[in-house]
Amino acid sequence: MRVLLIGTGGREHALAASLAKDPAVTELIAAPGNPGIAQVARLAAVDPMDPAAVADLAVRESADLVIVGPEAPLVAGVADAVRERGIPVFGPGRAAARIEGSKTFAKDVMSSAGVPTAGAYTCETPEEAAAALDKTGSPYVVKDDGLAAGKGVVVTDDRAAALAHAAACGRVVIEEYLDGPEVSLFVVTDGTTAVPLQPAQDFKRLRDGDEGPNTGGMGAYSPLPWTSPDLVPVVLRDVVEPTLAEMRRRGTPFAGLLYVGLAITTDGPKVIEFNARFGDPETQVVLSLLETPLAGLLLAAATGTLAAHPPLAWSPGAAVTVVVAAAGYPGQVRSGDVITGAEAPGIFHAGTGVRDGRLVAAGGRVLACTGTGATLAEAREQAYAKVRNVHLDGAQFRTDIAAKVA
Ligand code: AMP
Ligand code: GLY
């Protein structure tokens, strides 16, 4: 099978590493990729936001399967363009990717499907925002309606800061605060059959102790020893199946990866967000534990044959990943600093580049140092051993990823 993977991040490096291990994959091409992905795939140049260019590349490469990693190309219609050329693609079309591309759309789907989530108001003016903040009360949750790479959400007790974020974004969703630990559940689906992967937990805030601004994610671990064994079946029944049915009813079935971001509240699991693709950095831990060959699973989702796919096999162990971010992240980042010590297996590249033959930082989140082991404690120790070996001036990373469970 010839597989073309679209994207450049740590998630794509983890996907590429798993695909490269799948004996069914005869050739792996990544576009545009990054220096880490280049260790396991052949890179091709493409603008991932240009649907026609990606479809042309897939035809030129005689791809049997195209996997679209990030949300922005999905929302831009890249999967539709590839599918129109008759090539199986893992990732929803533009219409279904709105489940991530618009918070208002996602809330509308959840409400029609009866999915448990926070009550919410869409606001377009400062007056509407002020009225909504009065209704939800503090802590205030204000979300940019559109895509914001995980950085469009402000959770604060400060009413003035909540209003200022609403004014800066224009159209926002203001919602009730959901209290409880978060879980990321990935579901591979062909639009009808849903295959859940092992749940993971992400650390969204920049600093230790869940302080500082929201980021795309600073670390993750799996499995989650503190969740009830019912969690996945309950979320499939109450969230995933009704959502997939509602998307089919609307004539825009969702096929690809449905990322269910949950808060485990005292009233049970409630949806914080849907994403239309694998999470980053949760993918780095989840795929480190998946033993089932990945390309066959994603091809089954892309071709509507998931019901016939064998059950997934998992490593009995644990995985922890710690993100090393560049100085300034999640604000204005400093690029170009030299990175050393990033060669070990399990160090996934995100924002890296090559300058004068040396590996340099070229983005906000730079590396995801991933450890595996028989226990979370072992996996955590391995992950931090890799972090300690990396050198990057001004690097930021959390020291408490998985600390409470390991
Ligand atoms: P989102 O982009 O919607 O996932 O939001 C980013 C992060 O903000 C989430 O992972 C949560 O940590 C936090 N968050 C979002 N919505 C809520 C909510 N309703 N209650 C509490 N925290 C939230
Ligand atoms: N780690 C959160 C996300 O991928 O959206």
For 185-207, write each residue's pLDDT tens digit: 999 999 999 999 999 999 999 99
Distances (CA, A) of 201 to 63, 186, 189, 287: 33, 11, 21, 14
pLDDT at 152 over 90: no
Give the pLDDT of residue 1. 98
User: Nearest C-alpha to atom 2 of ligand 1 is from which residue?
Assistant: 150
For residue 13, report the distance from its CA to the centre of ligand 1, in Å. Answer: 26
* pLDDT (average), residues 292-319: 98
In tens, the pLDDT along 388-402 reads 999 999 999 999 999
pLDDT at 149 over 70: no
Location of each CATH 3.40.50.20 domain in the chain: 2-91
279 lines ligand 2 (CB under 6 A): yes
169 lines ligand 1 (CB under 6 A): no
* pLDDT (average), residues 335-355: 96
Sheet containing strand 140-144, edge to edge, reads: 120-123, 172-175, 140-144, 153-156
202 lines ligand 2 (CB under 6 A): yes
Query: What DSSP string describes 187-218?
Result: EEESSS-EEE---BEE--EEEGGGEEEE-S-S
**Averaged pLDDT score across all residues of the chain:** 96
Location of each CATH 3.90.600.10 domain in the chain: 318-392
In tens, the pLDDT along 76-93 reads 999 999 999 999 999 999
Give the pLDDT of residue 348. 98
pLDDT band at 151 (very low <50, low <70, confident <90, very high): low
pLDDT at 150 over 90: no
Specify the pairing of strand 201-202 against strand 219-222: antiparallel
Q: Which two tokens stand for residue 190?
A: 């062909």
User: Nearest C-alpha to atom 5 of ligand 2 is from which residue?
Assistant: 279
Q: Ligand 2, from 151, 186, 274, 275: best to mutate by most atoms within 8 Å of Cβ?
A: 275
Ligand nearest to the CA of 259: 2
For residue 397, report the distance from its CA to the centre of ligand 1, in Å. Answer: 21
pLDDT at 117 over 70: yes
Ligand nearest to the CA of 202: 2
The pTM for the full model equals 0.95
CATH number for region 120-175: 3.30.1490.20
Fold annotation for 318-392 = Glycinamide Ribonucleotide Synthetase; Chain A, domain 4 (3.90.600)
Q: Which two tokens stand for residue 335?
A: 């690029």
CATH number for region 181-308: 3.30.470.20
Location of each CATH 3.30.1490.20 domain in the chain: 120-175
CATH number for region 2-91: 3.40.50.20
Q: Give backbone dihedrals phi and psi of 88, rounded to 5 degrees, phi first.
A: -60, 135
Q: Give backbone dihedrals phi and psi of 99, rounded to 5 degrees, phi first.
A: -60, -25
Q: CA-to-CA distance for 366 and 387, rounded, in angstroms?
A: 12
Location of each CATH 3.30.470.20 domain in the chain: 181-308
pLDDT at 34 over 80: yes
User: Nearest C-alpha to atom 4 of ligand 2 is from which residue?
Assistant: 279
80 lines ligand 2 (CB under 6 A): no
Give 38-46's long-range contacts (Cβ < 8 A, gap of 24+): 40/13, 40/16, 41/5, 41/16, 44/4, 46/6
